[in-house]
Amino acid sequence: MIITQLLGGMGNQMFQYAIAKHLAILNNTTLKVDTSILLDWSKGRHAVNRSYDLDIFKLQVETASRQEIARYNSQLMSMPEKLYLKFRIGYLNLK
């Protein structure tokens, strides 16, 4: 499973989705999106609050559950010898 965390405006979300979709196709696996940052509009969290914008494209997008995100994050921490790509806004975090 590929989980991409969406953040930013429509252009950033389109890029994040496109690269994650490409990786999912290459690896013959499913793609899910993490919209938790987009949904968190707490004061001081972002300079500009953004919403999920990819719905205008009528994509068949699955949202990752909190449990899937937590499991993904815990696997990253427990297996440092393997290479994982974790998409965040503006960078790739290699573990």
The pLDDT tens digits for 10-62 are 999 999 999 999 999 998 999 999 998 888 777 766 667 788 999 999 999 99
Q: Which residues contact 17 (CB under 8 A, 6 or more apart)?
A: 4, 6, 33, 54, 59, 61
C-alpha span between 56 and 77 (Å, rounded): 35
Look at residue 74 in the predicted model and tell me its pLDDT. Answer: 67
Q: 95 pLDDT band (50/70/90 cuts)? A: very low
pTM for the model stands at: 0.71
Q: Is the pLDDT of residue 84 over 70?
A: no
Q: Is the dihedral angle over the CA atoms 4, 16, 88, 53 positive or is it negative?
A: negative
